[in-house]
């Protein structure tokens, strides 16, 4: 029997982030189409009441009907883009915390050598707020190589500062945002962008004066989400080889057991080993993995009995509730 391959595998943390990235992109496109259609109706002379009643929203719960105009749709356009950018950073912050938790779990069970916190100063721009585990601290904490994504850093800092302004300053640009937008560091990154990637083509980002309202568009929201995905992918590609099939199996078992114990995981398989193998295949994208490979691995890890008991309790609970 051939060994499972982790060459194209991903962590559960990355899978969660990637799903959010795809859902966000699709949602943004739907909203973009909706606003475009509203704009066309306004230009054609359709009344606000007619538009509102057409989609069944003319109710007391919505309050007064807004006076739809080109101005209000333009405002909606950049507000949705701004909020989308903030949403992307929220998902990325969760990814960093989840990825770090996975690695910490493997350290605590002696699959990995404990990481040493570095006291060195990290390069980059100081920000108003770095929620959760910041990108720079994560790379330093884990000893990961940042060279492959160094060209992204100035654009990341630009959007991170914008995110902070949107969340903490009601979208008003700070002096830091103005400085970053006009920095030679960012200009050099934009100039050399196509040398590193063909993604989104040559870039030209907006400049803002301190005190100016930040007005992004859908391109900014999509670009920001794509940059965050690139960073998450880089972390994923360095984390998976460290985890190995042994670590991925342990984490998959731990994840499945937590769901079984919480009663939130429907039993689609007949054994714990088959359920965990399914998680490794569908979520972690491990190739060539089946229960016959997983069961001995769980046994060697010393958790096969715990997995079986947890699964059987959940299976019995499912059967009793039918």
DSSP string over 89-115: HHHHHHHHHHHHHHHHHHHHTTSSPPP
pLDDT of residue 116: 44
pLDDT of residue 109: 87
Separation CA 279–CA 273 (nearest Å): 10
Report the residue count for the chain: 322
pLDDT of residue 14: 97
Tell me the C-alpha to C-alpha distance, in Å, between residue 291 and each of 103, 175, 313: 24, 57, 19
| Segment 302-307 mean pLDDT | 92
Q: What is the pLDDT of residues 245-298, one digit of tens each?
A: 999 999 999 999 888 877 666 557 788 999 999 999 999 999 999 999 999 999
Q: What is the pLDDT of the chain when averaged over all its residues?
A: 86
DSSP string over 169-215: STTBPPHHHHHHHT-HHHHHHHHTHHHH--TTSS--PPP--TTPBP-
| Segment 301-319 mean pLDDT | 86
Tell me the C-alpha to C-alpha distance, in Å, between residue 267 and each of 48, 228, 309: 49, 34, 14
**Which residues does 190 contact at the CB level (< 8 Å), separation at least 6?**
155, 202, 203, 204, 205
Q: What is the pLDDT of residues 58-116, one digit of tens each?
A: 566 666 666 777 788 888 888 999 999 999 999 999 999 999 999 999 998 888 766 54
What value, to the nearest 5°, has the Cα angle with vertex 89 and ends 131 and 172? 85
**Which residues does 189 contact at the CB level (< 8 Å), separation at least 6?**
151, 152, 153, 154, 155
pLDDT of residue 29: 87
**Nearest of 207, 184, 214, 204 to residue 78 by alpha carbon:** 214
Beta bridge partners of 182: none
Separation CA 71–CA 185 (nearest Å): 35
pTM of the model: 0.86
* DSSP type of residue 287: B
Percent of the chain with pLDDT over 90: 58
Scanning the chain, the segments in alpha helix (DSSP H) are: 12-43, 48-54, 70-108, 135-142, 153-168, 175-181, 184-191, 193-196, 218-262, 272-282, 291-301, 304-321
118 pLDDT band, cuts 50/70/90, is very low
Whether 280 and 294 have beta carbons less than 8 Å apart is answered as yes
Q: What is the pLDDT of residues 8-21, one digit of tens each?
A: 999 999 999 999 99
* Axis-axis angle for helices 304-321, 218-262 (nearest 10): 90
């Amino acid at each position: 029997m051939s060994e499972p391959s982790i060459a194209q595998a991903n962590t559960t943390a990355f899978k969660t982030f990637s799903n959010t990235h795809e859902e966000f992109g699709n949602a943004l496109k739907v909203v973009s189409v909706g606003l475009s259609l509203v704009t066309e109706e306004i230009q054609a002379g359709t009344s606000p009441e007619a538009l509102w009643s057409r989609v069944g929203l003319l109710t007391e719960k919505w309050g007064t009907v807004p006076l739809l105009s080109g101005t209000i749709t333009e405002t909606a356009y950049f507000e949705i883009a701004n909020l989308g950018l903030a949403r992307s950073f929220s998902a990325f912050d969760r990814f960093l915390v989840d990825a770090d938790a996975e690695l910490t779990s493997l350290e605590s069970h002696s699959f990995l050598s404990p990481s040493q916190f570095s006291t060195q100063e990290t390069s980059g721009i100081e920000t108003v707020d770095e929620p959760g585990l910041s990108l720079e601290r994560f790379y330093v904490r884990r000893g990961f190589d940042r060279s492959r994504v160094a060209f992204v850093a100035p654009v990341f800092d630009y959007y991170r500062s914008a995110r902070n302004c949107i969340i903490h300053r009601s979208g008003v640009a700070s002096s830091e945002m103005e400085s970053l937008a006009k920095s030679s560091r960012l200009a050099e990154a934009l100039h050399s962008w196509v040398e590193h990637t063909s993604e989104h083509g040559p870039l030209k980002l907006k400049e803002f004066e301190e005190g100016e309202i930040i007005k992004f568009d859908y391109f900014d929201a999509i670009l920001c989400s794509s940059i965050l995905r690139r960073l998450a992918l880089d972390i994923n590609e360095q984390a998976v080889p460290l985890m190995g099939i042994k670590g991925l199996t342990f984490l998959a078992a731990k994840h499945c057991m937590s769901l079984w114990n919480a009663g939130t995981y429907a039993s689609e398989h007949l054994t714990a080993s088959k359920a965990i193998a399914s998680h490794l295949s569908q979520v972690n994208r491990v190739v060539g993995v089946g229960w016959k490979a997983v069961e001995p691995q769980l046994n060697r890890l010393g958790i096969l009995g715990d997995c079986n008991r947890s699964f059987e309790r959940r299976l019995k609970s499912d059967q009793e509730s039918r």
